[in-house]
Structure formats: structure tokens, C-alpha cells
Amino acid sequence: MEAALGLMRRIPPKHTETALSALLGLLPHYASDLLSQVDQPLQLLVLCDVDSGKEFILCEYNRDADSYRSPWSNKYHPPLEDGPHPSSELRKLEIEANEVFSIYRDQYYEGGSSSVYMWEDENEGFVACFLIKKDGSKAAYGRRGYLQEGSWDAIHVIEVGPEEEGITHYCLTSTVMLSLTTNNQSSGTFSLSGSIRRQMNMDLSIADGHLCNMGKMIEEMESKLRNSLDQVYFGKTKEMVCTLRPPAEVLQMRIPDS
């Protein structure tokens, strides 16, 4: 199991689904563990929620059997009679979270899709999953037109503990999967993909409400993840490219004219 998880961490996000399917065939007795621990690129339901007319994101957190629950109508697609649903109180928080997170996504991502799912856990608390998918290809939300293909998938899972004297423990696990491909005359063909995962634990007062606390944690975590991606992926790639193929002006400085 450890070897399988180590392998999946090194697989480019765009090949995760194929690699995971192969591992499930080789290790069927670890199927539930692999599906719960391996993050896959997010998918949008092509057919929108009929009741709301809105798209929603498909993932393991809103799936039961072969059906997926919509955060907008709270119904399963395809219909499922005995699928689990959040309690009425948690459902109200889920509705509010989807509305607020949609505004957050528009301001930070300038498009894309988002979904929030919540469910009760066994420790008298609940779990919230915040999802963002941004397709940056020319055929989707790539307004600037630099990418031939590109996607940003963000998965934030927050475990919220029971309240104790007005204080609640929050455990946030965030995963970002990035994939991009360029194909134009100036840059040529270039492909870059990878994923990064981080965790944050905080004990916060619930005076401002769970949604406010979770929002602050996600905003802080996304800022750290973007900085890490910029330094690790783009920074290191730029350093390697400039070392192997330095710009013409650098070569002229290194090699004096004879």
C-alpha cells in the first residue's frame, strides 16, 4: 500500500485516473484505501443540475455507488433513493458555503467552478470539502489565451471537531493539482504538471461562525500553496532552463569577442 501511494504521488495529475485504474486492477483488496487516499483531478457534470441549472463538481466526497449528489438541489444524479444526505442544520451551512465560496472563486480565479459538500462524522463534528476547478485552456476559461491546455484543481477537506467551551479544532488538508501545456511559436511545446499537499491545524473560537473560520484557513492555505508552486515548479524549471540554455545576452557576457 505504501509503495502504491508513493507511486501515485509521482504520477502527473493528468495520468492519475489511468494509473489509479491500473492499481485497482492489481490490488483490488486495497480499493477502498486507494480511492479514499488518492486525489484525482476534478470533473464537472456535463449535464447540469436540472433543478438549479448549475454545474457541480464530481468527486469521491459526493459519490454514492454510481450517483453524485448536487450541492445545489441536494439530489443525486442519476437518482438514488437511499443516498446519504446532511442533516437539516448542516444542509443550511452547506448552502451558505456554496454561495460564499462561489464569490471567493470568482474574485480569485476569474471563472471556473466550485462546489462545497458537508457531512457528519463519527466524532460529533462534521467534515467540509471545498472544491475548485479552473480550466485554463483556450476552449474554456483561458481568457488570456496563453495555454493550449491547462487546469487547476484545488481540494480542501476540513475536519471540524465538537465545540468545547466556545473553541473548535479545525484540521485542513489541502491538495492542488496543476497541469499546463503551451504550443505556440514563441514558447514552442512545453508541458508541466504536478501536485502539492499541505495540512494545517488550528483551534478557533466559533464566535464568528464555522464558515468564517474555514474561509480564513482556506484563503491562507491557498496563498501558501500558490507561493510554493511558484517557487518549486516555475522557479526551479526557469533556473534549469536558463542554466542549460542561457539567453543570448548572457552568452555574450560570458564569451568575449575574439
| Helical segments of the chain, H only | 2-9, 16-26, 31-37, 88-109, 210-229, 236-244, 248-254
Res 209 pLDDT > 90: yes
Specify the pLDDT at position 91.
Answer: 96
Q: Is 171 left (phi over 0), alpha (psi -120 to 50) or beta?
A: beta
pLDDT per residue as tens digits for the range 156-204: 999 999 999 899 999 999 999 888 887 777 667 777 777 888 999 999 9
CB atoms within 10 A of CB 105: 21
Which residues lie across from 58 on neighbouring strands?
A: 43
Specify the pLDDT at position 142.
Answer: 46
Task: Return phi, psi of residue 122, to 5°.
Answer: -85, -5
Tell me the whole-structure pTM to 2 decimals: 0.80
Q: Using the structure block, give the residue that is written with the C-alpha cell 471556473.
A: 112
Residues 147 and 180: beta-carbon distance below 8 Å: yes
Picking from 93, 101, 106, the residue whose alpha carbon sits closest to that of residue 143 is 106
| Across 126-150, average pLDDT | 75
DSSP annotation of 235 reads I
Integer angstrom CA distances of residue 203 from 127, 167, 213: 15, 6, 10
CA distance 20 to 11: 10
Residues 107, 16, 224, 1: is their CA dihedral positive or negative? Answer: positive
pLDDT per residue as tens digits for the range 67-111: 999 999 999 988 888 899 999 999 999 999 999 999 999 998 888
CA distance 20 to 164: 40
CA distance 114 to 46: 14
Identify which has the larger pLDDT, 6 or 218: 218
Identify which has the larger pLDDT, 247 or 5: 5
Picking from 119, 215, 217, the residue whose alpha carbon sits closest to that of residue 172 is 217
Three cell numbers, residue 134 = 479552473
Task: Return phi, psi of residue 195, to 5°.
Answer: -140, 160
Q: What is the largest CA-CA distance in the chain?
A: 82
Specify the pLDDT at position 40.
Answer: 74
